[in-house]
Structure 1
Amino acid sequence: MPVRIASCIVCGAPLIEAGESPRWMTELRTLYTAREQWHHARVSQAGKRHDFKDLIPVDESIDEHASAAWIDESWVQMLIMRDTWEGDLPGRPRRTSIPFWGYAFHSACWDILSAAFPNSSSAGAVQALFDLFRSQHMFLGSMKWGHDYGGLIKHVHKVHVARLSLGEDPTLWMERLTGTAYLSDPLHIPQLELLLAASNLILREDGQEHRVMKLPVNDAFLTLPAEIITEILVELDSADVCSLRLASRVIADAELPDRFWRSRFWSSREFAHVFEVDQSSAASNRHRALYAGCKALKNNEGMTNRKRVWHLACRISELAQLRLESLPCSGTLSRTLTENGAHRDSRQWCKAEGLLSTTSRTLLNSGSRALCEGTVDFTDQVSGIAVFSVCFDGKRYISGIQLLPRGSKPMPLGYCHSPNAMYLRCENLIGFHVALDARGIRGLRLQSASGAMSGWVGDHRDVAKKLLTFPPRGQSSENILQAIKCGFDALKMVSLSVSSGERTKATGSHSRRRDEIDVRTSSLWYPEVPDADMRLVGSRNFDIYSCHVPYTLVLFGGSDGCLLPYLTSVTIWTTNQPFSRWPSPAKHTHLWGIEFQYSNGQASMVLGQPPPAPGPNDHYKPQAHHVTIDSAAGERLTRVEAMYETPNFVSGLRLHTSQARALTIPPSLMSKVAEVPEDELIVKSLDPGEGAIVGMYTSLKHDAFFQFLGIASKIL
């Protein structure tokens, strides 16, 4: 079989070797191109996987001089489900001599997608699909759309999405195909083909009558003409029609014409996946019988798989149509991953991005890929922006912005769909607060030179935030923004950068020492970016920083310390080792969560979470440690010591209070500190300086929860 694992873009089921069973899963179609011809996608004829190779038929678009790819006069080899172009970009040596690469479907799934996406074979539609596919990330040959392919795939190691921490991207794994529904051909269904081909369908009544409740004489539908009643019923789903027939004698007695039964096969209706009915003129005047026949086939395995694949194809169709209708990406083209016409920009930039693939070396198995980057330069002060958005995977993302400078024309950047613009105003724009996740920019608000903030546009609740000003410190008038740059995939904004126009120094933009980097402005934060007057103390974990996992901040004392007099207890949850289904060499504990409780009715606040109860195969033991705080007598936390077994592993805490108490969590760790070698247990002291400790922050990970710990303090 072929070396590379690959699954169908549409249905998620495997693309298997020619000669294996079922046969429909061996027949494939591809959307492909040659080398870096990004804007010349085409559709292949039916291909196959054979003898460790992926093959497509020769057609007139294939260069006869691409000799390395030719197998014989009928077939050429190509690479499918590619996730990196290392060595195949301009100025780099070729990694492979095979020029053709692309994305593969089962032939049956391509036909279903074609039915869901009209004109899918046109040049524009093919290119829209191709751009959409190369914007998505993959894992083990399966494209990650954000869904589970109708239950076909599951999470690696069965880590449920609810157990993931903010900023973690769920990794999907192919579930072993069980039963036969997923294996059934979703296109060629013998029973359905017989039903559609029958010329003299006989409608068999089910013998059931509609039971009508005893109703008042004044039936709301009594005065409506039959034509209006028919129009109402045509627009309703079948379940609603049944309910209405039970509630109204007029509706129950209404004659349902053929047009009503045909509407059962319209888009978004219960039998929309039987698209052959809407395409066939032979079905005229027999839609009621076809409806009854399809209803009888509802539990047929082929029909079950057809319905699953149809819904998946419709989702792709909607996204591709949105791409097709999008205006060209606005802004001056700057350096990108794939555009060889772009120029390199040497200015310093302050950037917000999720899990973004910005180099061809990176395997695109999470986050997003920037297909292009656009830049706008301006000298006039910006008094506001128009923000445009798009819906992807049930979430709202920013697709483009339009700057509104004083004294000059609006300056668009990205995909600016004029009907859905939202406007933000400010006096002298100097930066942004950006809400973002792994796939792109979710929301924006503006920061003016006076420090005032606009309202939010887009999604911002329960999303990580990043502060964008340049340079990170200070807001002097000489540092007013002069340029904005954004990265875009096929549909949405995936990065946002600002610049004051200063050029990158010879030593590079990362020449500052690590301890000089401002954690407030250089990191992602959740739920909000800390205030500028808050002091953040903690050992920076640069592995975490590079992975774009946000810092989660809990202000247990309130942003102004107002809750400190009511803090009565702190509960700290630990396990004897990292949460894992495998034994760990950990000698000490691992911190999972910290809960702060109050006496004034304030809901408790939690940093992290309690560890779940261990299962029969788990090797950890959760413990809860309770610490009382006599806040009524003025007791406050004055210092925290974080204990690390490794740089990414918080093993315990020591809490110091104003009443000269030092509480070690877990208590058993105290007796071991002196015995453990210095390189095995590192103690970091977190001192608030002249301020009071009002919060704690950390970065969270599902299988090793507290990766580090910091404190937030403020002079009250």
Structure 2
Amino acid sequence: MGASSALKDYWAFLARPACAKTNFHSTTESDFRNHRLTHYFPNRLKKVTTSPVMSPQVFSCIICGVPIHDYDASTSGSWSDQFRVIYRNPSGCFISGVGCREDNRETTWDAPSDPDLRWDDERSHGSLIDVQVMKQPVDDDQHGFVLHEACWKLLETAFPSILAEIPLKRLIDIFESLPFPVSSKSAYWGHDYGKLIMDIEEQGLYPWEEFYLADTYQPEAGDYVNANPYDVPDLPASLSMRTEYPPELSVSSQPENKNLFSKLPVELLENIALNLPTESALSLRLVSKVFFPLLYNQAFWASRFEANGDRDFVFETWGRRNSADDMIDWLSLYRLTSFTHCSPGLKNRRRIWSLVQPLIETIDLSPAETLDTVSEDHDHTSLEWTKVDGALTTRYPFKNGCRLFDTRVGRVCKDLSKIAFSLSTVGTICYISGIRLISRSGSNVCLGLISKTNEIILEVTTLRGFILAMGSMGLHALQVIQEDSRVSKWVGFPGNAPLTERLIGFRCIDFLQVGCDGFKIVSFGISPSAQTTEGEAPSLHKTALWYPTIPPPILSLNEPSYTAGINLSAEYNPLFWTHFGGPGGCKLKHLTSVSFDVAQGFFGLKFHYGAGPGHETCKLGRYVHSDSSEEEHFLIDGPGGEVIESVEVILEHLQVNIFDFLRDGKLNAVKLTTNRNRSFQGGFLWGHGGTTVTLPLTITPGTTLTGFYASKHIQFGLISIGAISEVLDK
């Protein structure tokens, strides 16, 4: 069996988690999960192997995402079987020795307690630890995380020597901030483990639906993820290459061109190039021919292998650049270590190295502890707060969202001059981790986790609010509202996080409240001065979390007919929206049909258009079409002037409502009626045994329906819906 095929089957083998009953109509979590897989991955479910006796205790390395121990017996004793446990108990934080996983039917993860011992060392017998790990429940106040021995070595190698040993407490704080999705054996960082698994959007999920993320393996990664990333057998041969002739070209041999660079000494030109990224340095050849010798300059190519260079993952070269007895052909080595030409082991190391490097910066974050920072449980609990939270949970281990470890409150200084925002990165995902309020005198009020190296500082003297990009796992980015309603550029990267304007519209802000987990802000609040709000009534436009953007004010949200109403105390539940009519209704004349996706629930609407640029299908809802899906179509003569004139919805109120998100009823079906008095009703019509009611989605008189917004639950489909309309030119 090939590596790619074996590992694909392996992900299916991992399918069924062991857990308690948690779902609707007394279904088990396994039943719920299989419902999800049947809808989204019907072909994958056929490969699932389950046992009536025991669920296999298989977990992936928390660093690299590759499973610890491949069930194929031929790999027994390989690097992927060897692991360490990083764990915490009342006595402190520890790392185990090296254990070996040879049978996934085992429910325990045993490893030597001494970090200097291995499982095959006779001295380790009798000194094994037995720790519950990953998504296993905490036992006797002890819990840990597993990672490959090879990945631990890579982390140790990458960790700066000036920082001494890796601080295990910080590492565990970070790990304890990660959810374990119900259908996955991996922790969810928000990234795809270096293109190892399909990302959340490729699986037909919204960015906040990590609870349902499955271990869906990228086929192209199967060629190298099984290779040992630490011990790469063919690397010594590449390092032993020797230069047989002097390859460098002198600057004097190049045609003279008259520019400022041509007047600089060669040593200075080399120093300029050495301090630039490779792509930027090579681009200098287009500016001046004096940089052409860079193509053959051994010192330049050797610098690419140093710390923070684009080949720093080849750590076997560290310290060899200036060795007189070591004539490595650095240019050839650079080419041989490109992703296209390097060996599987080095490809895997490169992937893991890209995950380890930002983790080191995250470990180095410092909890904010200053005299100017006051804990929430002191004198500020009586303040009124307006807050935006991620999907906070108190469960542990947890399957989605984020946990709250610490909350701090800070007074906004009267002589505020700057605000510094600390950033943390995991993989390709950026979060805001901390805030420093800097006064004109230079004193700081620090909140959250502060970075020594990755801060963005804004000149701010008057603070009137924030626009936030709050993901389910934490704060991705924000904009600062300053005096005269000036809006700053984004601090951080909003990416695919829902946006909200809940924290704007204040004349003055007295206090900030920041709640963090182990490496990012997960709750952000403000307390304005007395009577400083601008007196606006709460609106859905302002208070909701919106995806992918906040609807422009020109669009009417017709809030009175929205089926769920406004509830700021509700759980994290972003609204997504689609503008099928286009700006100013420009796409209405091209609309040809609306399709309804039905698969044991009403999962979405699609709007189809005639041929033409910019007329791609428009969706409300996100899902993957499968064999169990059904699409119902309603033809519309948009080119002939037919438009959707009215909308009715069928809501079902469950007799026993055990879910807060269904308090206003569950959306079962939608009925569309056009200006030609043609109607079509689509959706999930047979319900769950509750009582149903039909309600109109009333729109503002004089406006035309051009969009919808909704919220979703992956098991029930769309659970609420509202109409978007606008005034159109005749």
* Normalised TM-score (structure 1): 0.68
Q: Does the residue aligned with 2:407 lie in a helix, a strand or coil?
A: strand
Q: Deviations over 1:226-265 (max 9, x none)?
A: 5456556656777899999999998778996764453342
Q: Deviations over 1:14-46 (max 9, x none)?
A: 2228996242222222322215x6xx4333332
1:524 aligns with 2:534: no
For structure 1, the residue ranges without an aligned partner over 5 or more in a row are 63-70, 86-95, 336-341, 503-515, 579-583
> Residues 591, 523 of structure 1: CA spacing in aligned structure 2 closer, same or farther, 3 A cutoff?
same
Q: Does the residue aligned with 1:143 lie in a helix, a strand or coil?
A: coil
Instruction: Return the offset for 1:192.
Output: 3.0
Q: Which has the larger radius of gyration?
A: 1
- Which residue matches 2:61? 8
Which of 685, 694, 710 pairs up with 2:722?
710
Which of 575, 587, 594 pairs up with 1:551?
575
More deviation in 431-440 or 17-26?
A: 17-26
1:41 aligns with 2:98: no
- Which residue matches 2:647? 640
Q: Deviations over 1:116-173 (max 9, x none)?
A: 22239835643333333222333333122333333432358xx616x44464447240
Q: Does the residue aligned with 1:6 lie in a helix, a strand or coil?
A: coil
- Which residue matches 1:184? 227
Work out whether residues 595 and 607 of structure 2, in 8 Å CA contact, stay in contact via their aligned partners in 1: no
May I ask how many residue pairs the two structures share in their alignment?
629
Work out whether residues 698 and 706 of structure 1, in 8 Å CA contact, stay in contact via their aligned partners in 2: no
- Which residue matches 2:178? 136
Q: Does the residue aligned with 1:315 lie in a helix, a strand or coil?
A: helix
Work out whether residues 629 and 636 of structure 1, in 8 Å CA contact, stay in contact via their aligned partners in 2: no
- Which residue matches 1:364? 398
- State the one-letter code of the partner of 1:551: L
> Residues 24, 120 of structure 1: CA spacing in aligned structure 2 closer, same or farther, 3 A cutoff?
farther
- Which residue matches 2:474? 440
Work out whether residues 415 and 461 of structure 2, in 8 Å CA contact, stay in contact via their aligned partners in 1: no
Which of 659, 673, 679 pairs up with 1:655?
673
> Residues 57, 425 of structure 1: CA spacing in aligned structure 2 closer, same or farther, 3 A cutoff?
same
- State the one-letter code of the partner of 1:46: V
Work out whether residues 112 and 127 of structure 2, in 8 Å CA contact, stay in contact via their aligned partners in 1: yes
Instruction: Return the offset for 1:275.
Output: 0.7
1:386 aligns with 2:383: no
In structure 2, C-alpha distance between the alignment counterparts of 1:624 and 1:610, rounded to whole Å = 17
1:273 aligns with 2:313: yes
After TM superposition, the structure 1 = structure 2 runs for residues 63-462 of structure 1, keeping only pairs within 5 Å, are 73-82=126-135, 96-97=139-140, 99-119=141-161, 122-123=164-165, 125-139=167-181, 140-154=184-198, 160=202, 163-165=204-206, 167-169=208-210, 171-173=213-215, 175=217, 181-193=224-236, 218=257, 227-228=267-268, 231=271, 259-260=299-300, 262-267=302-307, 269=309, 271-279=311-319, 284-289=324-329, 292=332, 303-326=343-366, 328=368, 331-334=373-376, 349-357=385-393, 359=394, 361=395, 363-376=397-410, 386-392=419-425, 393-402=427-436, 411-416=445-450, 420-424=456-460, 426=462, 429=464, 432-445=466-479, 452=485, 454-455=487-488, 457-458=490-491, 459=493
Work out whether residues 554 and 605 of structure 1, in 8 Å CA contact, stay in contact via their aligned partners in 2: no
Which of 664, 680, 704 pairs up with 2:679?
664
1:25 aligns with 2:80: yes
Work out whether residues 356 and 368 of structure 1, in 8 Å CA contact, stay in contact via their aligned partners in 2: yes
Which of 485, 507, 510 pairs up with 2:513?
485
In structure 1, C-alpha distance between the alignment counterparts of 2:442 and 2:621, rounded to whole Å = 55
Instruction: Return the offset for 1:81.
Output: 2.0
Q: Does the residue aligned with 1:494 lie in a helix, a strand or coil?
A: strand
Q: Does the residue aligned with 1:173 lie in a helix, a strand or coil?
A: coil
Which of 693, 697, 703 pairs up with 2:708?
697
Q: Deviations over 1:319-357 (max 9, x none)?
A: 32244154526643347xxxxxx9995766443123333
In structure 2, C-alpha distance between the alignment counterparts of 1:242 and 1:128, rounded to whole Å = 39
Q: Deviations over 1:482-517 (max 9, x none)?
A: 643221133332211345799xxxxxxxxxxxxx99
- State the one-letter code of the partner of 2:550: E
In structure 1, C-alpha distance between the alignment counterparts of 2:520 and 2:651, rounded to whole Å = 40
Identity of aligned residues (%): 21
Two-structure CA RMSD over aligned residues (Å): 5.7
- Which residue matches 2:36? none
Instruction: Return the offset for 1:270.
Output: 5.7
In structure 2, C-alpha distance between the alignment counterparts of 1:469 and 1:247, rounded to whole Å = 47
For structure 2, the residue ranges without an aligned partner over 5 or more in a row are 1-53, 118-123, 531-536, 654-664
> Residues 261, 437 of structure 1: CA spacing in aligned structure 2 closer, same or farther, 3 A cutoff?
closer
* Normalised TM-score (structure 2): 0.67
Work out whether residues 590 and 651 of structure 1, in 8 Å CA contact, stay in contact via their aligned partners in 2: no
In structure 1, C-alpha distance between the alignment counterparts of 2:415 and 2:98, rounded to whole Å = 54
Q: Does the residue aligned with 2:57 lie in a helix, a strand or coil?
A: coil
In structure 1, C-alpha distance between the alignment counterparts of 2:605 and 2:490, rounded to whole Å = 34
